[in-house]
Structure 1
Amino acid sequence: MSLISKLTSKKLKDKEFKNILASIEPLKEDYYTLSGNLPFSKEYSTYVPYALENQYDSSLVGVAFDYLARFRIGQFTNKEEARDHLIAYKGLRKLSNKTKNYSLTDTFYIPLINDILDFIRSESKISPDICQIALKLAKLEQLYRSRTIGETNVDFYTCIDSSDEIVNDLISLLEVFENKFINSGILTKNSEVVFNPSFGISSPLVGGADADIWIDGTLYDFKTTKKNSLDKNDNLQLIGYFILNELAQEVHAAIGAPPLLDIDRLGFYKARYGEIEFYDIEKLITKEMRDQTLVELAKYFSKNPGKLNLVHDPFFVEDAKEVLKSISARGI
């Protein structure tokens, strides 16, 4: 179970969580675009038409695009940490354990990471080779996030290249990304960037939550979907990241854990349209709304702690539970 899974679940307890998020869900009218176009409208231009034939390819492109955007941002801002702590590595470990092939880290993963580092340190453009690397990482990430082991053919992940159709789609998406995101002015050489930010104690509470990227106070979710409309679950996921981060900030401050990111703005980047859709937190959520939602979340998580009990530090777990009870009592 993860944040996304909770939002799509039919279970009553997950619907309860979804309803809490819905109480602070932004409206379409709360968004604005960097381009000035009407958000989620027919004013968008389609720069990269959707032409993929099956759902797996679509999902694969979405994850691979996230990796390529990450590496390009790392290259632009000279941040080598863009190659660190990839979710794909967890997929590699899952594959290694299933196949008993424990040499994959040395024979496959480390050389691949070294190629990524070479790209970040270079002035090279996105090439078919770097796309194939991103696609292999995407396969491993999908393996990690799946409930079943899926494909166990090691060559499928390490040797077999994806089709030219998929690679060409990625290259086209990255060309638009270069023009509409990298060169837009929202990213500078000195930007503060956090890749794949997670949300402290809130992540195990929902069974796992990590966003695409945080840049200078804005949390972005990259989408390669062909839809230009506002998807309800995407909308709830984005506001969910914010409020989970706020809850974790309070818990961490109370127990002396490291502070988390400050999120001032949330946004989607729609890769096929080159559009960025934002809304400002301070214009959407009052302090009273924030505080009431934290009370409701604390009550919910006190009854439904997700994977909190699997956190290795038992003292951290017990302290966190006490803080959640304390927050939930504010509503009494």
Structure 2
Amino acid sequence: MSLMSILKSSDPKCKEVKEIIKSVAPQKKDFKTYSGIPPFTNYEVMSEHKLTSSYDSGLVGTAFDYLSKIICAYYTNTELSAKEFEQPKIISFLEETKNKSILVLYKKIQNHIDFLLANKSNDLELNEEFIGGIILLAKLENLWRSGFLPVATKKDILKPTEKVVYEDISSLVKNFDNVFIKNGLIKPDSLITYNPRYSANIRVALGGIDADICIDETLYDYKSTKNHGFMIKDSMQITSYYLFYLMDRIMSSTVQMQRHRIERIALYKARFGQIEYFDVKHIPEKDLKYAISELNRMFKLGMPTQKIKDF
């Protein structure tokens, strides 16, 4: 069971975990936006949601996540390679089932990513062929995560993607470029952790935890939803990423994300080009330490009580 599964579950233990996180998660009134527009209001739609299936929505979300990171790496001095997107279990599956044609395509898009990031020019051009390759990576990852990859046929995997999916991804990418690159939120010397990872203790205890991206002092969670309103589950999700980041720091973890000193947690609403953020300094210290102590107890992480008090 992963962190996301815990947050969705109605199991009594999971409900207790959710109540702990909720006790420090910011409410609607606590968020701000960089644009100055009141958060969670009826924003102008920059990318209209025209997708007709949840499958396509998931595909767009995963592909956008890949492409946004490629954009960040292209315009900064940070290092990113196709290895960051590689799923060894997918490669093993393709090799074992002798899906050589798909494996060739999988490795081809990886090489294309690495070539693109190694040969930067003034402007990044993401053509339809490249986006199609990213869609294939996203398709394979989503099939693998959902457990359907073993029963998916070659015809299913290589089936042409609807034009509306390409258009949606391209529109979301354009929004991201405008908000993060052209507005200067990401600078050439920005510190970026592309796939924030947690210590083995945290990962094993939770059964998995995946944050989206950490840029300088802000931990972001991407949302490609068409809903502009406040959702407490979104606040709890990004807050939980922050809490476990702090717990890793208390345990003196050396994972890459510990390079950052997180001051803000934020939701990026990709369809509206809006960032809703919260300054974590506004969480009362007493409440924060209580939440960490309770999560330490619930997940049996073994952090000494005194270390939490002294943190």
Q: Scaled by the length of structure 2, what TM-score is found? A: 0.89
Q: Name the SS for the 1:278 alignment partner.
A: strand
**1:101 paired residue among 74, 78, 98:** 98
Cα displacement string for residues 27-77 of structure 1 (whole angstroms, at most 9, x for unaligned residues): 1111110110000002x1101111111111011101111111011111111
How is 1:61-210 mapped onto 2 (pairs within 5 angstroms)?
61-86=60-85, 88-90=86-88, 92-93=90-91, 95-96=93-94, 100-101=97-98, 107-120=104-117, 121-123=119-121, 124-149=124-149, 151-157=151-157, 159-200=158-199, 201-210=201-210
2:289–2:308: 8 Å Cα contact kept in structure 1?
no
Q: In structure 2, what is the Cα distance between the partners aligned to 1:299 and 1:162?
A: 47
1:296–1:328: 8 Å Cα contact kept in structure 2?
no
In structure 2, the residue matched to 1:301 is: 299
1:63–1:138: 8 Å Cα contact kept in structure 2?
yes
Read off the aligned partner of 2:272 and give its amino acid letter: Y
Relative to structure 1, the CA distance from residue 171 to residue 148 in structure 2 (aligned partners, 3 Å threshold; closer, same or farther) is closer
Task: Please identify, of 116-125 and 1-10, the stretch whose mean Cα deviation from structure 2 is larger.
Answer: 116-125
List gaps (5 residues or longer) in structure 2: none
2:179–2:273: 8 Å Cα contact kept in structure 1?
yes
Q: In structure 2, what is the Cα distance between the partners aligned to 1:147 and 1:301?
A: 26
Number of equivalences: 304
Q: Name the SS for the 2:252 alignment partner.
A: helix
Q: In structure 1, what is the Cα distance between the partners aligned to 2:217 and 2:171?
A: 28
1:90–1:141: 8 Å Cα contact kept in structure 2?
no
Q: In structure 2, what is the Cα distance between the partners aligned to 1:238 and 1:151?
A: 33
In structure 2, the residue matched to 1:315 is: none
In structure 2, the residue matched to 1:241 is: 241
Q: In structure 2, what is the Cα distance between the partners aligned to 1:26 and 1:249?
A: 21
**1:291 paired residue among 289, 307, 311:** 289
In structure 2, the residue matched to 1:262 is: 261
| Aligned-residue offset at 1:194 | 0.6
Read off the aligned partner of 2:293 and give its amino acid letter: V
Computed over aligned residues only, the root mean square deviation of the Cα atoms, in angstroms, reads 2.5
Q: Name the SS for the 1:222 alignment partner.
A: strand
Q: Name the SS for the 1:268 alignment partner.
A: strand
Q: Name the SS for the 2:219 alignment partner.
A: strand
1:2–1:207: 8 Å Cα contact kept in structure 2?
yes
Q: In structure 2, what is the Cα distance between the partners aligned to 1:25 and 1:236?
A: 5
| Aligned-residue offset at 1:111 | 2.0
In structure 2, the residue matched to 1:314 is: none
In structure 2, the residue matched to 1:60 is: 59
Q: In structure 1, what is the Cα distance between the partners aligned to 2:89 and 2:168?
A: 24
Q: Name the SS for the 1:65 alignment partner.
A: helix
In structure 1, the residue matched to 2:278 is: 279
Q: In structure 2, what is the Cα distance between the partners aligned to 1:5 and 1:262?
A: 27
In structure 2, the residue matched to 1:308 is: none
Q: In structure 2, what is the Cα distance between the partners aligned to 1:156 and 1:288?
A: 53
| Aligned-residue offset at 1:82 | 4.5
Relative to structure 1, the CA distance from residue 329 to residue 34 in structure 2 (aligned partners, 3 Å threshold; closer, same or farther) is closer
Read off the aligned partner of 2:51 and give its amino acid letter: L
| Aligned-residue offset at 1:143 | 2.4
1:199–1:241: 8 Å Cα contact kept in structure 2?
no
Q: Scaled by the length of structure 1, what TM-score is found? A: 0.84
Relative to structure 1, the CA distance from residue 212 to residue 257 in structure 2 (aligned partners, 3 Å threshold; closer, same or farther) is closer
In structure 1, the residue matched to 2:45 is: 46
How is 1:2-41 mapped onto 2 (pairs within 5 angstroms)?
2-41=2-41
Relative to structure 1, the CA distance from residue 330 to residue 76 in structure 2 (aligned partners, 3 Å threshold; closer, same or farther) is closer
List gaps (5 residues or longer) in structure 1: 303-320
Task: Please identify, of 70-79 and 104-113, the stretch whose mean Cα deviation from structure 2 is larger.
Answer: 104-113
| Aligned-residue offset at 1:237 | 0.6
**Percent of aligned positions with the same letter in both sequences?**
30
1:92–1:104: 8 Å Cα contact kept in structure 2?
no
